[in-house]
Amino acid sequence: MLQRLGIGGRAAEETEPARFAFADALPAWPQGGGFATGRICVGELELAAVTAFEKICALSATKGGGGVTFYRPVGVPEGFSVLGHYCQPNTRPLHGHLLVAKAVAGKPESESLPPLRPPHDYELVCAFRADGVGEDRKSCRGYGRTGAYFWLPVPTDGYRALGLLVTAEPDKPPLREVACARADLTDECEPHGSLLQLQLVGQSACWSSSTVPAAFALRGIRPTHRGMWGRGIGAGTFCCGAVGLSPREQGMACLKNVDLDLSAMPTLEQAHAVIRHYGPTLYFHPKEVYLPSSVSWFFKNGAALCKKGEDAAVELDGEGSHLPCGECNDGEYWIGLPDGKRGESIIYGDIDSAELYAHVKPAMGGTCTDVAMWVFCPFNGPARFKLGPITIPLGKTGQHIGDWEHFTLRVSNFTGELMAVYFSQHSGGRWVDASALEYTAGNKPAVYSSRNGHASYPFPGVYLQGSAALGIGIRNDAARSELAVDSSAKYRIVAAEYLGEGAVEEPRWLNFMRVWGPTVVYKSRQRMERMTSAMHRRLRSPAERMLNKLPNELSREEGPTGPKEKNNWEGDERW
C-alpha cells in the first residue's frame, strides 16, 4: 500500500537496524571444490560478496515509520569494484550480500574492451532534501533527517549499469566509485518486492525527468532468467523511480554466468554438511491428524498403482519398483489407497517414519545453492472457511490423497551462509530473509506446517487465503507442538543434477510423473456460493471476489503430481 505523504514536515529518522548475527558460528565446511571460498569466477569476472556496511542515509514516511536505510559496502577486497549500493527495510536486522567484482587475471579481454569500466557520468534519478525544496527544483523534503540523492551510472557504449549510488549531499559521486559491466557479461533484470513506496502530495519537483510522477518506489532487483539453469546473478542492488518504472527501462542489468560455471556449488559431502547445519525443524499443528510419513511407509502400508480401465490395482513395494517412470502425466496411472481399514488408517501417516527429501540445485547463476526440502503426507485434510469470527468446516472440500509440500533453503556459495528460506504456500509462497526467521536451536530455523493443508509458514498464526482485512477466506492454522520432524537429521538427498549422472541415486518414485491420488469432483463450490449470497451486501462482493480466486483443488479431490513434475523443480520458486 502506498503511504500518502505531504511535502512539508520532517520525518523522524528511525533507529538504524542492528547487525544480524547467527546464534552459532559457521562450521568449517568440508574441503574440496570452490564452495565457501569467498570468491567465484564467472567467465572474465571474479566476484566476492561483501556483508559489512556503512550507513549513508535513511528515507521514511513522515508518520508511521516503515522506512529504509541505504548503505555503502566496507571492507571491499583490494582490486574489486563496487557495482551499486545496498538498501533494506528498517524492520529487520541488517543482513545483506552485495556483490563486488574485478577482472580475472590472465583472461583475454574480449574485443579489447575490459570487463569493467567506470561510468562516464551520472544521472540524478531522484532527490530528497531534508531542509526543503532547493534551487534546483529537483528535490523534495520531509522524508528523512538528511538528504537522499539517487544516482544512476551512465555507462560508456557497450556497458551496462548494475545498481544505483546514494549520497546524502547533492554532489555527484566520483566516477571511480562504481563500475559498469560489459554488456555481454550481463543478463536482463526485473524489479521484485517492495522496499518503500511513497505517495507524494503537494509540490514534489524531486525528479530529473520532465514528467513528474505522483509516487516514488524502491524495489529490489532480480535476474529475469532464474532457476536451476538460469545464468542471471543478482548483485544485491536496488532500483528506484516512478511506480511502474522497471530497471530495464533505466538501462540496468544483472550479472551473467556466461558459461554457467558451477564450480562453486557444494560437493555431495558439503551439501550434507549444509543440511545438517541449517536443516529446519518442521512443526505440525497440535490438532493435526493427517501427519507425514516416508514414501516407503506409504507404499508398504497399502498404496497401490491404479491403471485407467483396469479394476485390479498393483500393490507397491517400499521403493515403488512397479511404478512407470519418465513419462508425462497423461491420466493413465495414479496411486490409490487400499480398501477397508487399511485405507482408513493410512491417511493419518506415520510421523516416526517421516523424512525430508532434499533436492540440491544451483540458483542465481551458480552463486547460491537452493536446498528444496520436500515432505510427503498421505492425505491432505479438508479446508475450513473463516467468515469474520466464525469458522465453518467445508466437509470434503480441499481434501485429496497424497500431499507434496516443500520449503527451500538458499545458501551463499561465497561463504556457506544461509541467506533466506522460501515457504511454499499452496500455489505460491514467499522468501523470508535469514535475519527475520525464528530459530529453534543454533542456526536451524523453524518451519510451521498448516493444519490439514500442510502449507509452510515462518511463524505460528492464522493465515488466510482470501481477504485478511475482512477476515474472509480459507483458514490456515500454524502452531508449534510435539509433532515435529527435524530435517537436519531425518532427510535424504534424492537429487543433485549438477553433480553429474550417478552422483546421487534417485529413488524410482521420484520419476513417477503421474498423480499421487485419484480425482473426485465435489459440489462444495456451490455450497460456498450459497454461503456468500446470504451475506450482508457489504461482505458479499469481496467474498465473491475471494471465491473466484480460490484454486480448483478446493472443489475437487485430486492427487498432486510428485516433486519432479512441479515447474519449480528446475525453475525458480514462485515469488
The predicted-structure confidence for 268-325, as pLDDT tens digits, reads as follows: 999 999 999 999 999 999 999 999 999 999 999 999 999 999 988 999 999 999 999 9
pLDDT digits (tens, 9 = 90+) for 73-123: 999 999 999 999 999 999 999 999 999 999 998 766 555 799 999 999 999
Report d(CA 147, CA 169) in Å as an integer: 6
CA distances from 119 to 73, 116, 156, 164, 438 (A): 19, 10, 6, 12, 42
Averaged confidence pLDDT in the chain:
87
Residue 175 has pLDDT above 60, yes or no: yes
Question: Confidence band (pLDDT; 50, 70, 90) for 134?
Answer: very low
Question: Confidence band (pLDDT; 50, 70, 90) for 518?
Answer: confident
Per-residue confidence (pLDDT) for residue 66, from 0 to 100: 76
Highest mean pLDDT (candidates 211-215, 299-303, 381-385, 515-519): 299-303
Per-residue DSSP letter, 264: T
Per-residue DSSP letter, 552: G
Report d(CA 509, CA 564) in Å as an integer: 10
Report d(CA 196, CA 209) in Å as an integer: 20
More confidently predicted of 487 and 138: 487
Looking at residues 134-139, what average pLDDT do you find? Answer: 49
- Percent with pLDDT over 70 in the chain: 84
Report d(CA 73, CA 179) in Å as an integer: 14
Which of 564-571's residues contact partners 24+ apart within 8 Å by CB, and which partners? 564/495, 564/510, 564/511, 564/513, 565/329, 565/513, 566/404, 568/372, 569/228, 569/359, 569/372, 570/227, 570/228, 570/229, 570/361, 571/226, 571/227, 571/228
* Backbone torsions φ then ψ of 57, nearest 5 degrees: -170, 180
Per-residue confidence (pLDDT) for residue 263, from 0 to 100: 97
The residue written with cell numbers 549520497 in the block is 167
Kind and range of the H or E run holding 70: strand 68-73
Looking at residues 437-455, what average pLDDT do you find? Answer: 97
- The two counts, helices (H) then strands (E), for the chain are 5, 40
Per-residue confidence (pLDDT) for residue 466, from 0 to 100: 76
* Backbone torsions φ then ψ of 160, nearest 5 degrees: -135, 145
User: Measuring CA to CA, which residue among 340, 372, 380, 361 is closest to residue 516?
Assistant: 380
Report d(CA 487, CA 447) in Å as an integer: 10
Contact 147, 129 (CB under 8 A): yes
Report d(CA 308, CA 300) in Å as an integer: 22
CA distances from 94 to 13, 48, 70, 217, 333 (A): 16, 19, 11, 21, 50
Residue 510 has pLDDT above 80, yes or no: yes
Contact 172, 127 (CB under 8 A): no
Contact 408, 575 (CB under 8 A): no
